Amino acid sequence: MVSETARERAWKAAASVADPEIPVLSIADLGVLRDVTMDEDGVEVTITPTYSGCPAMNMIQIEIETALAEAGFNHMRVKTVLSPAWTTDWMTEEGRRKLRAYGIVPPVGPAGRRALFGETIIACPLCTSTNTECISEFGSTSCKALWRCKACREPFDYFKCH
């Protein structure tokens, strides 16, 4: 049996990996890091992409392997699971705080049918006005939408619920 200390060390190493598309967030902040287990074959890290086909997943896997190697682990596997599907509900409060501080509006409310069909009121991160509009459902990454404040006229990113 492997000590809990080694598992904690492996979790810490994996959790330190930054998201390549939004480097202010770790994969733990995003909820992409699902589990770290250890057995006689080494460390297994389980991750779930924010959406199937996410181009950042290959880089995340390489960065996890690098972080584990730097933490002294020689045998590792990174397993990607698609079910259950990732949801913005898995983001940590710390991750939401980091997004806000970075100038990206975090997801508003829980994910679900409202995220797909409801009207979302997004406050401008600069002036806090709710007189905002969606310019494009896709921003600089697929998980963000581009919005504009009608009050201060500034564009901003919104991390979409899903």
- Whether 52 and 104 map to the same domain: the answer is no
pLDDT at 2: 52
Please tell me the total count of domains within the chain.
2
Structural domain boundaries, residue 141: 89-159
- Whether 76 and 17 map to the same domain: the answer is yes
* Comparison of pLDDT for 161 and 155, the residue scoring more: 155
Helix or strand holding residue 14 (H, E): helix 4-15
pLDDT at 136: 93
- Whether 35 and 55 map to the same domain: the answer is yes
Confidence check: pLDDT of 36 > 90: yes
pLDDT at 4: 62
Quote the CA–CA distance of 35 and 161 in Å, as a whole number: 22
Helices (H), 38-142: 57-70, 93-102, 113-117
pLDDT at 53: 81
Distance of CA 85 to the CA centre of its chain: 13
- Of 59-73, 83-97, 134-148, which range is least confident? 134-148
- Whether 153 and 105 map to the same domain: the answer is yes
* Comparison of pLDDT for 121 and 161, the residue scoring more: 121
Confidence check: pLDDT of 116 > 80: no
- Whether 76 and 30 map to the same domain: the answer is yes
- Whether 72 and 106 map to the same domain: the answer is no
pLDDT at 74: 93
Q: Which pLDDT tens digit goes with each residue over 70-86?
A: 999 999 999 999 999 99
